[in-house]
Structure formats: C-alpha cells, structure tokens
C-alpha cells in the first residue's frame, strides 16, 4: 500500500521531509483515480505481477533500439501479456482472461508495459470497440470470441491519404453485388489509400474499414465493414490487398501505423457491421435511427482519450513535482543555502495548477463517460436519441480541450525540469510525443471545436425562441435577462462569469453571422469568415463545463474532511488559474472588472503558498509505480543524480573510450591540421 510504503522505503532527505507531514489521506485520493478501493487493489496486484515478470522487461532501453527492434519488442510483450492473462493462475484469481486484458490496456498500466506505443492498441481499443458497439448480437457472437482470444487481430481503418477530417469525402467504396451476396471493397484512387491506422502495417489480420456504401448506383455514405487482410497462419497479405507500414513518426513508433489498398476485394454481405444500418440480401438498405450512429466508435475513443491524457498528465506532474522538491538551485536570500526549486513561486505556478488540472479533467471525463453510457443504454433499448447531440458536442469539446491542455502542460513540466527534462531518461520527451498526437487523432482539434461551435450556435438560436436545451447549455435560458457583471468571486460566481462570457461571445458572433447573411454571403462562407471567433467561444464553453463539473463533483463528495479540504483548495486553484488565464475574455465580456482580476491574482499567490507543502504528497497520492513513471527525475526515492549518471552509462557510445567513427573521420581531419 502506498501509505505503508512511505514508512519503509528509502528516499532522499528532501522527499522524506516533504512526506513527513501530510494533511490528508493519500489512499482515499488514490481510490478516486482508480474508481474505488477494489480497483486500487486489483491494479496493485496486477502491477506486482507484471513488473516482477522478467519477460516484460526491455532487453535494452527502447531509445537505443532500431525501428524493427522496437516493433518486435513491443509485439513480443503484448502477445506475452495476452497469453499470460489467459493462463496464469495468479491472474485468474483477480479475474484474468480477455476482460482483464482489455481492462489493463484501457488503464494507465499500458503506458508502463509499452513505452512508445503498442501494435495491439487499436485491437484492444477501436477494433473491439467496433465489435461491441457497432455489431448486431449475432455478429458479436461470431467475432468477439475470435478477437478476444487473439485468433484474429484487428484495427480501425477510416482515414485515407486524401481525407481524414471529412468523413463524407472518403473514397474507398463498398459496392453491393446482389448476385453473389457480397460487397466489393475497392480503392479507386491513390488518395483512397487508407493511411495511419495503428497496428495496420504488419500486425492486423482483419480491419474494420469505413467505406462509401453503394447499392444499385446509389451512395448511402460511409459505413463500417469487416475485411480480412491477411491469411490465417501464414499472415501473408490476401489477394487484392496491398498493406504495409507508413514509416517513422514523431512518437508512438511501435504502433506500425499502416497503409492499405483494396483491388476489388470481395467480402460476404454479412461482414457489413450491422447493428445500426443493414443491407438485406435483395439489396434493400435499412436506415439507422441516426446516420451518425456509425460514428459511435469515434465517440467512445474520444471519451477514452480524456482519461488517457489525464494519465499522461499524472505521470508528468509526478516527475516534475518530485524533481522540484529534490533540485536545489540559486539563492532566495544572498548567502543562504540554495533552496529546493519548488520554493520559487514561479515553479509552484508550473506544477500546482497542473496537479489541480488532473482532478478537473478526471471529474469532467467521468461525467462524460456517464453520458456516453446513458446514450448507449438508450440506443440498446431502442429509445430516443435526444442526448446524442449533447454527447457529440461534449466529447468533442473535452477531447479537444484536454488533449491541448495536457500537451501544453507536459511541455511546461519538461521546462520545469530544466536541461534534465530534455533527456530521454526523464521520460518527459516521450510522454510529450505520445500525447501530442491526441490533438490530431480521433478528430483534429480545430475541426472538433467547430463542431462544438455549431452546437452552440444552434442552441443559442433555440434559446432565443424559448426552445428545449441540452444539459450542457441549459444556462443559455437566462441569456436575455442576465446582466453581464458578476458580483461575487466564489467558485459559483466564477462559473457564472464563464457562462456570461460564452453568451456575450455568442451574441457577437451570431450578430456577425447574421450581418454577413444580410449582405448576401452564403451561410457556409459566413461561417468560415467567423470561424476564429467560433473556435474561441467553443473553447470558453469547454472551460466552463470543466469548472462547473469540478465544483459539482466536490459538492457531492462524501469522503474525509482532510481530502475534501485539499480538493477544495485544488478546485479553487483551477478556477482562478483558468479565469486569470482567460481574463482578457472575461474583462471584454464585462463579467469581471480589473479590480476583481487583481483580487483573484492575489488569491492565486496565496493558494500556491498554501498548497506548496502538499505538492509531493499530492502526486504521491496518484500512486504511480516507478515502472509507470520510467523516469530518472521522478522515481519515488528521488535519487535523481545517481539515476541520471547510471542511465548515461547505458549509452552505446560509452562502450568504448574511442569510437570507430573517430578513426574514420576525426583522426584524418585532426592529423591533417597538425
């Protein structure tokens, strides 16, 4: 248990001092992030088993491996994990088997096993997600056992060379042939080549393929189909299939992201993924309740990404906070001992708001997950889909906001560790390169912001007519009666300040849209001409959601008073950090005055000072195992300098005193200059 470990494990004196006085029950916080005591226990058991298994160690640090070695090493571990979970009696005790594998790959532990991506990620994430969320019961009975056991490995292939964002522009076709009861999957152009899917290059034998459904010359839009790409046993690509890997990326280089082309590949009609839309044998198309239901896997993954980036921020803040307590630099008072860098207010301003952000993200992600589950329940019951626009807008807003906040936050954590933060052994560079693509995949963020803006403008117009509003925009109903100024600076006052700012921004942009329309501009062009403003208002609305959810989550919290108190402080910090960052917007909308901004800035300084003594305890409470952190700067013991030195010794260049390259290049140069 983390609390007990504190008593017995070695750590450097600086961290001992930090840990000596903790005002709250760390274990209670650990349980929040695990989703309950039982989950904490399960995770710890799992990590004890996984991290003591020599087969899951890397033979050399992955940074020193070639492209092929990295892929092979991660695939080896992923397959080993699958087999181990199926057979190891220790794991059966804690609910082993396929469900546990899925559980683990959708938890923070996957970042510990696979440090730079994992060839089976898309299999466990989106392929299984498509089977479970998009297939009929009959189809699930056929495909799920095969996918769960690893008999088939799949991925989700949607993006093409020519189109990622604009789904309706996909060029891959699935043309129904009623004579043979088959679909013909085809890539008509170079730009129709599927491009990017994880695990596609060399790993997957099957794929869910998004293709334009054509029946008797009519295009019914993008639909998902299951296509076999590689032969059983030999794994050779099948006739009509051209498949391979797309080459090195900024990060996630073990994912074998791939390309895929189809040359009139025939699949049975029943391989169309048919929970929502169907094609009958005679070619009749059965419409879904909503055309957007086939986008459901993307929505689920956007929810998953909110958690995933939260875990990445937990890792980065743990590393940077512990390092800030161990690192001494400069002088606060002339002639005095060099202080821990965490004593500098500017350093506190780097780490503490990011620790608070972890909580903010977690609570908002949890609410989003519940909305997702409610919509799923309604879909399965066949009841109305009223909440679908809410789910779409909120999942777009939170995925876009969190992926940006966390990527920026990790960058701040790296800078907060000075030069050592730039070392691969700090793990901050890899945490960064694994997180930044979340701003692009599963919907490029600007595009998602524009989807949110579309929802806001629609809702704003609905509110003016006194129409029904979705939960996240229920506050629009007051928009005509409210004065803009807020008078109290409490959390609920600040949330209200955000509401008023969104409404003020919407009013202005709606007016501009209207004006362009009156001047004869087509709506789409007017929209484009206003899109910078539209993105801005979407961002402020997203921040409003997160602040609102944080306050609401604490209002419901029933734990100990110590934890409650520290979370109240973190919530306050998150609110003031957000509002002061956005003060230009809140001032412009008239929600705040400059004097109020000054008061908030003063309070921010006081909060940083109040939370400073708890910083290390707060990140300890995330309970991240050293293997999850994988960092010279962030390990629990704080033995930073020995770890840095030992890691440097692993550089292959240090195997010999004088490398061959010296004799080849430098020596001739140096000799010629003698």
Ligand X SMILES: Cc1cc2nc3c(=O)[nH]c(=O)nc-3n(C[C@H](O)[C@H](O)[C@H](O)COP(=O)(O)OP(=O)(O)OC[C@H]3O[C@@H](n4cnc5c(N)ncnc54)[C@H](O)[C@@H]3O)c2cc1C
User: Which residues contact ligand X (rule: CB under 6 A)?
Assistant: 122, 156-159, 163-165, 196-198, 252, 257, 437, 440-444, 446-447, 450
307 binds, among ligand LPWUO67N, ligand X, none (CB under 5 to 8 A by kind): ligand LPWUO67N
User: Taking the C-alpha atoms of 159, 165, 171 and 175 in order, what is their torsion angle to the nearest 10 degrees?
Assistant: 80
d(CA 384, CA 364): 24
Q: Which residue in 17, 44, 454, 477 binds ligand LPWUO67N (CB under 6 A)?
A: 454
Give the helix ranges, DSSP H, for 382-444: 388-416, 428-435
Q: 198: buried, middle or exposed (CB in 10 Å: 19+, 13-18, 0-12)?
A: buried
176: which strand partners?
A: 183
159 is known to lie in a ligand binding site: yes
Note whether 534 binds ligand LPWUO67N by CB under 6 A: no
Output the CA–CA distances (angstroms, integers) from residue 302 to 48, 126, 332, 392, 532, in the order listed.
30, 11, 45, 10, 23
Give the x-and-dash track for 372-411 against ligand LPWUO67N (CB under 6 A). Answer: ----------------xx--x-------------------
Smallest distance from the beta carbon of 380 to ligand LPWUO67N, in angstroms? 16
Q: Which residue in 14, 442, 499, 620 binds ligand LPWUO67N (CB under 6 A)?
A: 442
Cα three-residue angle 346-638-645, rounded to 5 degrees: 105
Is 442 a residue of the active site?
yes
Among 4, 29, 7, 18, which residue's Cα sits nearest to residue 617?
Answer: 18
Smallest distance from the beta carbon of 385 to ligand LPWUO67N, in angstroms? 9
Which of these ranges, 438-446, 470-478, 514-522, 564-572, lies near ligand LPWUO67N under the rule CB under 6 A?
438-446
d(CA 85, CA 163): 38
Which of these ranges, 154-162, 276-284, 551-559, 624-632, lies near ligand LPWUO67N under the rule CB under 6 A?
154-162
252 binds, among ligand LPWUO67N, ligand X, none (CB under 5 to 8 A by kind): ligand X
SS3 letters across 301-352: HHHHHHHHHHHHHHHHHHHHHHHHHHCECCCCCCCCCCCEHHHCHHHHHHHH
Q: Which one-letter DSSP state was computed for residue 357?
A: H
Cα three-residue angle 154-155-158, rounded to 5 degrees: 145
157 binds, among ligand LPWUO67N, ligand X, none (CB under 5 to 8 A by kind): ligand X
- For ligand X, which residue has the nearest CB? 164
Our CB check for ligand LPWUO67N shows the closer of 281 and 370 to be: 370
Do residues 124 and 304 lie in contact, with contact meaning Cβ atoms separated by under 8 Å? no
Our CB check for ligand X shows the closer of 110 and 479 to be: 110
446 binds, among ligand X, ligand LPWUO67N, none (CB under 5 to 8 A by kind): ligand X
Note whether 441 binds ligand LPWUO67N by CB under 6 A: yes
Our CB check for ligand LPWUO67N shows the closer of 121 and 542 to be: 121
Our CB check for ligand LPWUO67N shows the closer of 174 and 324 to be: 174
**Other CB atoms within 10 Å distance of the CB of residue 328:** 14
Question: Which residues inside 14-53 make contact with ligand LPWUO67N, applying CB under 6 A?
Answer: none
d(CA 306, CA 366): 9
Which residue's structure tokens are 């994430």? Answer: 125
Q: Which one-letter DSSP state was computed for residue 398?
A: H
Note whether 301 binds ligand LPWUO67N by CB under 6 A: yes
**Other CB atoms within 10 Å distance of the CB of residue 474:** 12
Q: Tokens representing 123?
A: 């299999």
313 binds, among ligand LPWUO67N, ligand X, none (CB under 5 to 8 A by kind): none
Cα three-residue angle 539-443-364, rounded to 5 degrees: 50
Note whether 313 binds ligand LPWUO67N by CB under 6 A: no
Note whether 433 binds ligand LPWUO67N by CB under 6 A: no
Do residues 366 and 32 lie in contact, with contact meaning Cβ atoms separated by under 8 Å? no
What is the Cα 460 distance to its own chain's centre? 29
Smallest distance from the beta carbon of 101 to ligand LPWUO67N, in angstroms? 13
What is the Cα 141 distance to its own chain's centre? 30
Smallest distance from the beta carbon of 350 to ligand LPWUO67N, in angstroms? 26
Among 199, 394, 389, which residue's Cα sits nearest to residue 306?
Answer: 394
Our CB check for ligand LPWUO67N shows the closer of 209 and 615 to be: 209
d(CA 33, CA 12): 27
Smallest distance from the beta carbon of 509 to ligand X, in angstroms? 16
d(CA 1, CA 45): 11
533 binds, among ligand X, ligand LPWUO67N, none (CB under 5 to 8 A by kind): none
Question: Which residues inside 72-101 make contact with ligand LPWUO67N, applying CB under 6 A?
Answer: none
What is the Cα 596 distance to its own chain's centre? 35
Q: Which H/E stretch holds residue 553?
A: helix 531-556
Smallest distance from the beta carbon of 309 to ligand LPWUO67N, in angstroms? 8
305 binds, among ligand LPWUO67N, ligand X, none (CB under 5 to 8 A by kind): ligand LPWUO67N
Give the helix ranges, DSSP H, for 478-530: 491-518, 523-529
Smallest distance from the beta carbon of 516 to ligand LPWUO67N, in angstroms? 19
What is the Cα 661 distance to its own chain's centre? 42
Cβ neighbours for 672, distance < 8 A, ≥ 6 positions apart: none
d(CA 178, CA 186): 17
69 binds, among ligand X, ligand LPWUO67N, none (CB under 5 to 8 A by kind): none
Our CB check for ligand X shows the closer of 443 and 634 to be: 443
Cβ neighbours for 147, distance < 8 A, ≥ 6 positions apart: 123, 127, 128, 131, 153, 154
Smallest distance from the beta carbon of 256 to ligand X, in angstroms? 11
Provide φ and ψ at 260, rounded to 5°. -155, 130
388 binds, among ligand X, ligand LPWUO67N, none (CB under 5 to 8 A by kind): ligand LPWUO67N
Smallest distance from the beta carbon of 606 to ligand LPWUO67N, in angstroms? 35
Smallest distance from the beta carbon of 135 to ligand X, in angstroms? 18
Active-site residue identified among 18, 160, 182, 442: 442
Note whether 109 binds ligand LPWUO67N by CB under 6 A: no
167 binds, among ligand X, ligand LPWUO67N, none (CB under 5 to 8 A by kind): ligand LPWUO67N
Give the x-and-dash track for 171-210 against ligand LPWUO67N (CB under 6 A). Answer: ---------------------------x------------
Smallest distance from the beta carbon of 163 to ligand X, in angstroms? 6
3-class DSSP state for residue 551? helix
Q: Which residue in 443, 497, 634, 638 binds ligand LPWUO67N (CB under 6 A)?
A: 443
Do residues 339 and 326 lie in contact, with contact meaning Cβ atoms separated by under 8 Å? no
d(CA 91, CA 421): 36
- Sequence ranges of the binding site for FAD: 159, 198
Catalytic residue positions, numbered = 442
Residues lying near ligand LPWUO67N in the complex (CB under 6 A) are found at 106, 121, 125, 129, 156, 158-159, 164-168, 198, 292, 295, 298-301, 303-305, 307-308, 388-389, 392, 441-443, 447, 451, 454, 458
């Amino acid at each position: 248990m983390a609390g007990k470990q504190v008593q017995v494990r070695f750590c450097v004196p600086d961290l001992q001092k930090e840990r000596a006085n903790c005002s709250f029950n760390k274990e209670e916080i650990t349980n929040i992030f695990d989703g309950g005591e039982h989950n904490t226990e399960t995770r710890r058991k799992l990590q004890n088993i996984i991290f003591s298994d020599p087969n899951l160690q890397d033979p050399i640090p992955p940074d020193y491996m070639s492209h092929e070695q990295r892929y092979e090493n991660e695939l080896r571990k992923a397959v080993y994990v699958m087999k181990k979970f199926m057979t190891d009696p220790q794991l059966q005790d804690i609910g082993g088997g396929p469900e546990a594998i899925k559980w683990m790959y959708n938890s923070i532990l996957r970042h510990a096993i696979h440090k730079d991506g994992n060839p089976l990620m898309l299999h466990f994430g989106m392929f299984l997600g498509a089977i479970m969320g998009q297939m009929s019961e009959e189809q699930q009975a056929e495909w799920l056992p095969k996918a769960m056991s690893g008999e088939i490995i799949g991925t989700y292939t949607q993006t093409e060379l020519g189109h990622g964002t604009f789904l309706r522009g996909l060029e891959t076709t699935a043309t129904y042939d009623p004579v043979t009861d088959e679909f013909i999957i085809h890539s008509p152009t170079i730009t129709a080549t599927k491009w990017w899917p994880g695990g596609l290059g060399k790993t997957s034998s099957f794929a869910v393929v998004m293709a334009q459904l054509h029946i008797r010359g009519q295009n019914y839009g993008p639909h998902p189909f299951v296509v076999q790409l590689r032969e059983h046993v030999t794994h050779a690509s099948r006739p009509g299939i051209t498949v391979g890997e797309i080459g090195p990326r900024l990060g996630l280089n073990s994912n074998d992201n791939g390309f895929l082309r189809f040359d009139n590949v025939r699949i049975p009609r029943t391989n169309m993924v048919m929970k929502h839309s169907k094609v009958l044998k005679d070619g009749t198309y059965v419409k879904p309740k909503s055309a957007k239901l086939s986008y459901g896997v993307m929505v689920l993954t956007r929810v998953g990404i909110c958690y995933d980036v939260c875990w990445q921020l937990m890792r980065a803040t743990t590393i940077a906070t512990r390092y800030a307590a161990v690192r001494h630099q400069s002088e606060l008072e002339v002639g005095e001992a060099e202080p821990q860098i965490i004593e500098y207010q500017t350093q506190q301003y780097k780490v503490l708001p990011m620790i608070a952000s972890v909580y903010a993200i977690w609570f908002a992600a949890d609410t989003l997950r519940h909305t997702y589950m409610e919509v799923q329940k309604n879909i399965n019951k066949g009841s109305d889909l009223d909440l679908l626009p809410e789910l779409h807008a909120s999942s777009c807003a939170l995925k876009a906001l969190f992926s940006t906040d966390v990527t920026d936050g990790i960058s701040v954590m790296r800078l907060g560790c000075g030069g050592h933060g730039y070392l691969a052994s700090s793990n901050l560079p890899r945490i960064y390169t694994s997180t930044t693509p979340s701003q692009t995949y599963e919907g490029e963020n600007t595009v998602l912001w524009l989807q949110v803006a579309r929802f806001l403008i629609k809702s704003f117009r609905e509110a003016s007519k006194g129409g029904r509003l979705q939960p996240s925009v229920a506050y629009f109903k007051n928009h005509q009666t409210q004065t803009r100024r807020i008078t109290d600076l409490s959390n609920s006052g600040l949330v209200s300040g955000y509401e008023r700012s969104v409404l003020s921004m919407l009013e202005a942009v709606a007016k501009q849209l209207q004006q362009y329309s009156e001047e004869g501009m087509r709506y789409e062009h007017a929209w484009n001409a206003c899109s910078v403003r539209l993105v801005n208002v979407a961002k402020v609305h997203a921040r409003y959601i997160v602040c609102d959810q944080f306050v609401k989550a604490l209002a419901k919290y029933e734990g100990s008073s110590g934890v409650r108190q520290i979370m109240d402080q973190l919530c306050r910090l998150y609110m003031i950090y957000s509002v002061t960052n956005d003060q230009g917007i809140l001032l412009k909308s008239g929600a705040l005055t400059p004097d109020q901004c000054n008061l908030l800035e003063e309070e921010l300084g006081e909060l940083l000072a109040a939370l400073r003594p708890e910083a290390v305890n707060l990140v300890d409470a995330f309970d991240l195992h050293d293997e999850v952190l994988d960092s010279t700067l962030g390990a629990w013991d704080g033995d930073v300098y020995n770890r840095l030195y030992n890691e440097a010794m692993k550089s292959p260049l240090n195997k010999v005193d004088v490398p061959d390259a010296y004799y080849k290049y430098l020596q001739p140069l140096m000799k010629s200059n003698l």
